[in-house]
Amino acid sequence: MISPVMLSSLGDWLDHQRALNGAAANTITAYQTDLLGFLSFMTIYHGDTMGLGPVSCITISDMRAWMASERGRGVAARSLARSLSAVKSFYRWLADREGFEPTAVLSTRSPKFQKKLPRPLAIDAARTMIDTVEIQAREPWIAARDVAVVTLLYGCGLRISEALGLTSTDVPLPATLRIIGKGGKERLVPVIPAARSVVNAYLDACPYPITANQPIFRGSRGGPLYAKAIQNVMANSRIQLGLPATATPHAMRHSFATHLLNAGGDLRSIQELLGHASLSTTQSYTAVDTTRLMEVYEAAHPRANPRATR
């Protein structure tokens, strides 16, 4: 079994992640699941209660045994890498707090996996997607709703949860929208006129009253709109357009970032618009061809363009 002291330490670490690092609720749940799974394995593997003493003595061999067990039960390399990252983060914090050497855990190599690069839509495909979404619904107000949501994803780079989380206090949409994203991180997002226009059109057509502090986007029966409805309408649209299965609501956000970068936007500004904590995350969100990268390089790099230094 896992000792009460270790469970308490785990709880303290999760509180630390929640309070100081702003980890989202889903992230905290994933961390907890990963750590409990790891500690449970070590308890069975060593046949001993997993308290501070045994935890501080875990070896590289123990780590390899855990990882082999995870792969053996079908855990994908990407998921295992995430679990290992959580274990390392917890150990780094615990070692600093309790004063033991965590090298064996921290030096464990993460399994290799191929990162899945996002596949943004081409500009014309993104526009056609919005047009096709509009003709899927039988009721005009639902068509207006779906167009408004998808336009916010593409025109403002919102996550679908952020678009569906807009409430009566957010409308009429201002020129700059304040968004609370993952982990409670706040960002300001410019709202293009096209987005304001389609949201206003939806609000005018919606048959249900938009009451105080309630979501503005409603389901067909008047309740809050769920992401599944937008996923379904986009799935129907992409089949009609012959687009791949990667043409999802989240792909519209990828497209927002990529098309901005292709048009000359800088990566740091796009990072702020997307609400990413890490620039590397923004880089993975954007897909810019080699020609565009070389244009930027030749125009800005002093060795490639001597005029850039003048």
- Look at residue 157 and give its three-state secondary structure: coil
> If you average pLDDT over every residue of the chain, what do you get?
85
- pLDDT bucket at 110, cuts 50 / 70 / 90: confident
Omega of the bond prior to 118 within 30 degrees of 0, cis? no
CA distances from 73 to 66, 67, 153, 276 (A): 11, 10, 37, 33
Direct distance between the N- and C-terminal alpha carbons of the chain, in angstroms, rounded to an integer: 68
The catalytic residues are 159, 182, 250, 253, 276, 285
Structure tokens at 256: 């927002």
Fold for the domain defined by 4-106: DNA polymerase; domain 1 (1.10.150)
Q: In angstroms, rounded to a whole number, what is the distance separating the alpha carbons of residues 154 and 235?
A: 16
State mean pLDDT over 66-84: 91
- DSSP assignment string, 226-243: PHHHHHHHHHHHHHHHT-
What top-level class would CATH report for the domain 123-295? mainly alpha
**Confidence at 309, pLDDT banded by 50, 70, 90:** very low
Map out the domains of the chain as residue ranges.
Answer: 4-106, 123-295
Strands (E), 134-250: 176-180, 186-190
For 24-39, b/e burial (b = at least 16 CB within 10 A) is eeebeebbbebbebbb
Q: How confident is the model at residue 91, as a pLDDT?
A: 93
Which of 231, 232, 207, 228 has its CA nearest to residue 218? 207
Query: What distance lies between CA 153 and its chain's CA centroid?
Result: 13
Q: Which residue has the higher pLDDT, 118 or 60?
A: 60
Spatial CA neighbour of 163 closest among 87, 208, 83, 226:
226
pLDDT band at 275 (very low <50, low <70, confident <90, very high): confident
Of the two residues 58 and 268, the one the predictor is more confident about is 58
Report pLDDT digits (tens) over 165-184: 999 999 999 999 888 877 77
Same topology, domains 4-106 and 123-295? Answer is no
CA distance 91 to 87: 6
| Of the listed ranges 5-14, 34-43, 56-65, 298-307, the one predicted with least confidence | 298-307
Q: How far is CA 227 from the centre of its chain?
A: 15
| 176: β partners | 190
Contact criterion met (CB below 8 Å) for 55 and 94: yes
CA distance 181 to 246: 23
- The owner of tokens 């990072």 is 271
Yes or no: say if 113 and 95 are a contact pair by the CB < 8 Å rule: no
